Amino acid sequence: MNFIYQKITDQILEQLKQNIVPWQKNWSSAFPENYISGLRYQGINTIMLGLSNFESHYWLTFRQCKALGGSVKKDEHASMVVFWKPIVRITGTELDESTADVHFLLKYYNVFNLQQVELPDEVLKKKNIMSSSPKIMEAEQIIQGYKNPPKIVFNNMIPNPRYIPSKDMIEILSIDKFHTPADYYSSLFHEMAHSSGAIHRLNRSGITDKIIFGSSSYGREELVAEITSQFLCNVSGINTNFENSVSYISNWLQVLQNDPKMIVIAASQAQKATAYILNHSSTNSLEE
């Protein structure tokens, strides 16, 4: 399992070294989805599959491709997808005294993008493979649709937007104080992500525990908020082509190098935060 964590983190680090921030990927069509089942890849899989530049958001395994009468194009390389496999251990000999312990093991398999394979025409005609899914809702609709939200207060006297857990309140500058509407919404989504961790919402330790600046917990919570913000921007169709500073990227390089598991955990928590804010169930997915 440590091998999988390290493999994922190595790929993320390689992108950062190229001045590319993977969780700021702006999908051209929709979130990655399995071509056969229709299930969306979520959490870290969204980020990993987003490293590619394919126009199609559909993916399938080698076996699925073969079952459709297709083949993988020459010299194409697969992408890794991870999932949690439950492992049940039963202890005790008597039925009424036996106990079951459930552990989850991180596993992986490989998938190919639809543009990497050859499929029969009759198969492709059943689905418009390049069509863009309609946006679920605009940015303001996401904000209004957040059930039992924190209070949002406009305060042009503060240097940066912030979420205050003790007051369950977001303070943010008015939209005209930002360079672009995209900057405003991405900042607000970032603070909404933090608010999703409140004890009466997702009860995330990065918000409910004592916050120590510079700690691993602090770094993970910031990463959760950044990824969630990007997910929400993607859902609302906001293009976020940021100019990332050297210090910004260097910071994430250091954080992720120190904790190979962080990106996987943060992406999973970001997926849950996104689903919560959108009032969606995250059970219909390929990753918890």
Q: If you write DSSP's letter for every residue of 162-201 in order, what string do you get?
A: EEETTTTEEEE--GGGSSSHHHHHHHHHHHHHHHTTSTTT
pLDDT of the chain along its 288 residues, tens only? 578 889 899 999 999 998 888 888 655 556 788 988 888 888 899 899 988 878 888 999 999 999 999 999 999 999 999 988 777 665 655 545 555 566 778 889 999 999 999 999 888 776 654 444 333 357 888 998 999 999 999 999 998 999 999 999 999 998 888 877 888 899 999 999 999 999 999 999 999 998 888 788 889 999 999 999 999 988 887 877 666 667 778 888 988 998 989 999 999 999 999 999 998 754 334 343
pTM listed for this prediction: 0.68
Block residue for tokens 């559909």: 58
Pairing state of beta strands 169-172 and 162-164?
Answer: antiparallel
pLDDT at residue 134, as a whole number: 34
